[in-house]
A and B are shown apart, each in its own frame.
Chain A
Amino acid sequence: MSAVTSENLRPIGTPSEQLVAAARWRWFEFLFWGIAILCGLSMFAPMLGFNVPIIPSKMMLMSEILILGLLALSIDLCLGYAGLVTLGQGAFFGIGAYTAGLLAKHGAGVAPLSDPILGLLAAGLVAGFVGFATSFLVLRGSDLTRLMVTLGVALIVEELVNKLKDITGGSDGLQGVMSSPILGIWEFDLFGKTAFWYTLIVVFVCFWFCRRLVNSSYGYSLRAIKGNALRARAIGVPVNARLIQVYTLAAAIAGIAGGLLAQTTQFASPDMVAFHRSADSLLMVIFGGAGYLYGGLIGSVVFRIMQDFLSNITPQYWLFWVGVVLVLLVLFVRNGIIGLLSAAVSRSKGAGK
């Protein structure tokens, strides 16, 4: 160990190559998406004569986890990279859900309009537009003001959904959503098999896009804003413009996530815009760790499984245990589950040398 100097520990290559290498795909990323694909493939196990007891019947749950992960990812983009706290991402999620739901309901039969992919694009566009329109509010004030403003926007949207009964169906939710086959080919089935692959592909594409973004020069300028907005301005970073852009983008992604949920469950309800959506998804990012992109995805897996598991044991008090885990995580771990794992990995590497 003593023979290893700091010089030897530096990665090889020119500084440019080293920086670019930081954006390369790692083994644990392949592992993560590999596991996701395996979960999907498990649906074929019964046909081959294997008996995997849990997974095939949980297709809908797995799709939901991925969708919540995408919503959390959109928060991570704001919080983990640009340093924007938001407690209103549920609003964009709900707007996306209703947009896609309404398109599927009223567009059913009208071939191009009813296509789910078009529905998702519309969900992203509408949510992104509302995000853009409200982004000017988040430029004002400190973190606390932002938290309140985003919460306020979410509450307004929630109330609008409840009041506009003729369009949204009010508290009964949007009935009669019929998702057409994807690209006119793949029908949604009762077991959520198509829904799972559809969700996985959409979530992966959105993730891939965000991953390119945060590792680009643009992404690093966002990190600079998070690190120190005063300094970022002084070196010429258009701080306000960048914040508006990233907030709008995050809103669009949240809208796509909402659209996915409406399409795969063929339903949209005020529950999808409710405050707990925003709060839960923020919790998922904090559980998983902000600023890694995977934090939200892993957080949603852990959160949802914990919710499922705990509410089976103690239907009334499961939130109590969620609270306990959250307090412990925040107290003892710096960056959520990923922070915990990466600390363990670097410790074992250090010990190996």
Chain B
Amino acid sequence: MTTVLETRGLCKKFGGITATDNVTFKLPAGARHALIGPNGAGKTTFVNQLSGVLLPTSGSIFLNGQDVTEWTVRARSRAGLARTFQINQLFADLTPLQSIIIAINERENAARSWFLPFGTRKDLVAEAVELAESLNLGDVLDERVGSLAYGKQRLLEIAIALAAKPTVLLLDEPAAGVPESERDQILNVVAALPASVSLVLIEHDMDLVFRFAKTISVLVNGALFVEGTAEEIAKDPRVRQVYLGEEEISHG
């Protein structure tokens, strides 16, 4: 199977702290991969390097076979890498429909058009409506994003990322902070994502991880601790000790 996303010897140091410690990782096409680890394991730092928000101290990143280590966030996005954010990063004063169209416009190079009114391209608007509806946002298309329910905002996070038609999608804790009643909606949406998109899910919620992921990497203190299929990880006593065990203690 072809590898869509790969890191080789990735390191990130903040002063004396090693947040990412020599991570070598491969993501095959069509993957349903979860990245887990205790608090402070460096999951978000890792994602920030993949998406280009942070530059690694050393090591390299490959996207679809191309070395993108030095690429900007925008260049990676245009090369097919999309992400959602752990803390909502949305356009509060716009509507969900407008937000999605803006993302589609960039993908189609339609955002350079400065003369015709926004929304003139019927095909792009129709695509945005369809995408929004497929993510349960059909009933709030014209509301102000800032006043949407939190669960809807989390769905919009995913919708905006999908609008770029990515080949790789990094989901940074999509269900974080979502009330129990709305959680299922997010799980269903994530489960229904097209197979053409390779997924990396960063998540604390073990329900979501084991329901969704076929393969799992465990990150501890910035380093890859163990990798394997979901069953292997669930059974692995070391993982229980560093991660699941700790969870039990903290909940117990």
User: Is A220 touching B98 in the complex (CB atoms < 8 A)?
Assistant: yes
User: Is A234 touching B91 in the complex (CB atoms < 8 A)?
Assistant: no
Which residues of chain B (50-97) have a CB below 8 Å from chain A? 51, 53, 72-74, 77-78, 82-83, 85, 89-94, 97
User: Is A237 touching B112 in the complex (CB atoms < 8 A)?
Assistant: no
Q: Does B106 contact A (CB under 8 A)?
A: yes
Interfacial chain B residues near A14, Cβ < 8 Å: 122, 125
How distant is A84 from chain B, measured CB to nearest CB, in Å? 16
Give Cα A107–Cα B116 distance, bound, in whole angstroms: 38
Q: Does B142 contact A (CB under 8 A)?
A: yes
User: Is A234 touching B119 in the complex (CB atoms < 8 A)?
Assistant: no
How distant is A13 from chain B, measured CB to nearest CB, in Å? 11
* Max chain B C-beta neighbours (<10 A), residue from A19, A218, A233, A239: A19
Scoring B residues 111 to 134 as 1 if CB is less than 8 Å from chain A, else 0, what string do you get? Answer: 111111111111001101100000
User: Is A235 touching B90 in the complex (CB atoms < 8 A)?
Assistant: no
**Interface size of B as a range:** 35 or more
User: Is A236 touching B117 in the complex (CB atoms < 8 A)?
Assistant: no
Which residues of chain A (223-277) have a CB below 8 Å from chain B? 223-224, 226-228, 230-231, 233-239
User: Is A16 touching B89 in the complex (CB atoms < 8 A)?
Assistant: no
Q: Does A15 contact B (CB under 8 A)?
A: yes
Q: Does B99 contact A (CB under 8 A)?
A: yes
Give Cα A238–Cα B107 distance, bound, in whole angstroms: 11
Q: Does A219 contact B (CB under 8 A)?
A: yes
Q: Does B215 contact A (CB under 8 A)?
A: no
Interfacial chain B residues near A20, Cβ < 8 Å: 117-120
Give Cα A54–Cα B142 distance, bound, in whole angstroms: 46
Q: Does B105 contact A (CB under 8 A)?
A: yes
User: Is B94 touching A236 in the complex (CB atoms < 8 A)?
Assistant: no
User: Is B118 touching A23 in the complex (CB atoms < 8 A)?
Assistant: yes
User: Is B105 touching A231 in the complex (CB atoms < 8 A)?
Assistant: no
Tell me which of B77, B93, B115, B129 contacts A223 (CB under 8 A).
Answer: B93
User: Is B51 touching A234 in the complex (CB atoms < 8 A)?
Assistant: yes
Contact A217 to B141, CB < 8 A, known contacts A228-B89, A236-B77: no
User: Is A231 touching B111 in the complex (CB atoms < 8 A)?
Assistant: no
Smallest CB gap from A17: residue in B: B119
Interfacial chain A residues near B93, Cβ < 8 Å: 223, 226-227
How distant is B144 from chain A, measured CB to nearest CB, in Å? 11
* Max chain A C-beta neighbours (<10 A), residue from B53, B107, B126, B142: B142
Give Cα A14–Cα B122 distance, bound, in whole angstroms: 9
Q: Does B239 contact A (CB under 8 A)?
A: no
Contact A231 to B117, CB < 8 A, known contacts A15-B125, A15-B129, A221-B106: no
Interfacial chain B residues near A239, Cβ < 8 Å: 74
Interfacial chain A residues near B125, Cβ < 8 Å: 14-16, 19
User: Is B163 touching A217 in the complex (CB atoms < 8 A)?
Assistant: no
Q: Does B164 contact A (CB under 8 A)?
A: yes
Tell me which of A10, A219, A231 contacts B114 (CB under 8 A).
Answer: A219
User: Is B90 touching A22 in the complex (CB atoms < 8 A)?
Assistant: no
Interfacial chain B residues near A140, Cβ < 8 Å: none
Smallest CB gap from B72: residue in A: A233
Q: Does B101 contact A (CB under 8 A)?
A: yes
Q: Which of A152-160, A193-201, A208-216 contacts B (4 or more CB under 8 A)?
A: A208-216
Interfacial chain B residues near A22, Cβ < 8 Å: 117-119
Give Cα A231–Cα B83 distance, bound, in whole angstroms: 9
Q: Does B168 contact A (CB under 8 A)?
A: no
User: Is B114 touching A224 in the complex (CB atoms < 8 A)?
Assistant: no
Contact A233 to B74, CB < 8 A, known contacts A19-B125, A228-B89: yes
How distant is A112 from chain B, measured CB to nearest CB, in Å? 29
User: Is B74 touching A238 in the complex (CB atoms < 8 A)?
Assistant: yes
User: Is B119 touching A231 in the complex (CB atoms < 8 A)?
Assistant: no
Nearest first, the 6 closest Cβ-Cβ pairs linking A and B are: A19-B119, A227-B91, A23-B117, A218-B114, A236-B106, A231-B89
9 A-B pairs (CB sep. < 8 Å): A15-B97, A15-B119, A16-B121, A22-B119, A217-B105, A218-B112, A219-B118, A234-B161, A235-B161
Q: Residues of A with Cβ closer than 8 Å to B?
A: 10, 14-16, 18-20, 22-23, 212-213, 215-221, 223-224, 226-228, 230-231, 233-239
Given A219-B114, A227-B90, 8 more pairs with CB closer than 8 A = A19-B119, A20-B118, A216-B118, A217-B110, A217-B120, A227-B91, A231-B85, A235-B103
